[in-house]
Amino acid sequence: MTAAWIGLGANLGDARSAFDAALSQLDAHPQISVLARSDLYQTAPVGQLAGNAFLNAVCRVETSLAPLELLDMLQSIEKQLGRQRGVQWGPRTLDLDLLFFGEQLIESPRLTVPHPGAWYRRFVLDPLIEIAPNWKHPLFQVSLFELRNCLQARPLQIVLTPHWSALCEASHDQIASLFPGIKLVAENSPCLTEDRATRSLWLRLLSDDWSATVAAHAKIPSQLTADLTASPGEPLEKVLDFLTALHDEPQRLDCDP
């Protein structure tokens, strides 16, 4: 049996009921046991077309299924409970993400584990910490608690390479208004501190397709390296999405209404 962590999210319909139904179906599977679930968290929508605020949660399961078999099961449950795939990062009745599958590192056309956004998305980290604070991210070998604490530093210093620096400078006022806890610093700025106590994220442009990943770094968790890629014409929107996910403070709710 392998331990796996699954993220749940929804902002359409009765999210509480959808989460309960999904967990019941998972636990009813002969090769899956649901061992723990977090409370619900109200979180900011990420994505220009995401719609209203989300409810998020995570659960821990043990399973004898292979990773892709578990992914198939999650997608089947999404479909049964009304998930319609259309706009990427759009509103949804239920989203089930496979966050971790034991300590495995998986990269395939259908599945990347650990989930690329699990290290910086507060709507994932906060509920994870509730049920697994000492679980170490398999890629960084840093606890989820440490990762979340890194993102909670205020001001959170984000070091920008030249491309992102020029882009964000043109939208400085908008970014400062939306993210008062974030301090943007150009990579070549004389005021850039090397103090290890300063939490830093590095943004840089990679290629044509959007993704957010992290590269292992000797100073983790004092410093994290985020590789942002964006398709032409929308890089600023992707930066705003990234900043929203790491800056938002999820509001913890009770599981019961």
User: Looking at the annotation, which residues are catalytic?
Assistant: 83, 92, 95, 97
Strands (DSSP E) contained in the chain are: 2-10, 32-37, 40-43, 54-63, 95-101, 106-107, 112-113, 156-160, 182-186, 200-205, 211-215, 223-229, 251-253
Query: Which ranges in 63-159 belong to alpha helices (H)?
Result: 67-80, 122-131, 144-152
Q: Are 161 and 203 contacting, i.e. CB atoms less than 8 angstroms apart?
A: yes
Give dist(CA 81, CA 93) in Å, integer: 7
Instruction: Record the tokens describing residue 202, joined without a space.
Output: 């590095």
